[in-house]
Structure 1
Amino acid sequence: MTIAPGSAPAASAPRHPLDPDPVRATKARAVFALGLMGAMTGLLLGGVVPATVALHLARQARREAYASGGFLTGAAWLRRGERLAWTGLGLVAVSVVALLVIGVVRLAEAPYGQDFDPTVD
């Protein structure tokens, strides 16, 4: 929002004294921590669980923040945690594909059937 030169910004409505103070959502920090764990352990295939839990918690935290009417903050932590969780899931997918390719190549190189001596008909 831009303000025209020479005009004063509009004052926000005064808060009611019984309104709660804005507080960072506790799930936002948990989403970030789980997303970080998911990204760090993604290549080891262990990142699936924390990344999935982080994405589910992020969904719940967004729903709660919307219902709170702006009194729950921490959207930046949620975004970072979701990005890290998706990065962890991407690393898990890369690891699974790499393991499948390695397995297929080793299977293709392995001899099949019985290996008889050259003197056997």
Structure 2
Amino acid sequence: MTTAPGQAPVAPPVPRHPLDPDPVRSTKARAVFALGLMAVLTGLFVGGVVPATLALHLSRQARREAYASGGFLTGAAWLRRGERLAWAGLVLVAVSVVAAVVIGVVRLAEAPYGQDFAPHMD
């Protein structure tokens, strides 16, 4: 059955089996998003490593569970957003660590080397 000559055929909806569960959002997807948000917010203070790694680990588990559920677990958009936020948090941590190392090296290079004697001493 088609609706117009240029459109794709419309398939009738497939009836659901009465014992099929209702599609629900994965609770892990919400947790991944929250942990990713915390990773971004605390990323510059190096505290973002912990929530970011937890978010990435939890997102892997949530993806496996969603695949095994056969489409009855939703929340893939929340998972994607949470993963992106977690990776952004890790990038912020890396930037802050690199900046701290560069500042430390520059300050170490500016410090006097060895003992500093008075100008009239040999």
- TM category (shorter chain) comes to over 0.9
- Identity between Structure 1 and Structure 2 (%): 79
Which residue of the partner structure matches residue 34 of structure 1? 35
Question: Runs (4+) of structure 1 moved beyond 6 Å?
Answer: none
Call closer, same or farther: CA 1:114–1:15 in 2, change over 3 Å: same
5 Å-filtered alignment, 1:9-24, equals 9-24=10-25
Equivalent residue pairs, number: 119
5 Å-filtered alignment, 1:1-80, equals 5=6, 8-80=9-81
The CA distance in 1 between the partners of 2:112 and 2:16, in whole Å, is 77
In structure 2, runs of 5+ residues without a counterpart are none
Q: How high is the TM-score relative to the length of structure 1?
A: 0.93
Instruction: Kindly provide the amino acid, as one letter, of the partner of residue 121 in structure 2.
Output: V
The CA distance in 2 between the partners of 1:6 and 1:112, in whole Å, is 79
The CA distance in 1 between the partners of 2:65 and 2:118, in whole Å, is 72
Instruction: Kindly provide the amino acid, as one letter, of the partner of residue 58 in structure 2.
Output: L
Instruction: Kindly provide the amino acid, as one letter, of the partner of residue 27 in structure 1.
Output: K
Call closer, same or farther: CA 1:7–1:119 in 2, change over 3 Å: closer
Call closer, same or farther: CA 1:35–1:6 in 2, change over 3 Å: closer
Instruction: Kindly provide the amino acid, as one letter, of the partner of residue 13 in structure 1.
Output: V
Report the alpha carbon displacement of residue 117 of structure 1 after superposing the two structures with TM. Answer: 1.4
Which residue of the partner structure matches residue 104 of structure 1? 105
SS at match of 1:43: helix
The CA distance in 1 between the partners of 2:107 and 2:22, in whole Å, is 61
1:90 pairs with 2:113: no
RMSD, aligned CA? 1.5
The CA distance in 1 between the partners of 2:36 and 2:118, in whole Å, is 56
Q: How high is the TM-score relative to the length of structure 2?
A: 0.92
Report the alpha carbon displacement of residue 5 of structure 1 after superposing the two structures with TM. Answer: 2.8
Call closer, same or farther: CA 1:4–1:90 in 2, change over 3 Å: farther
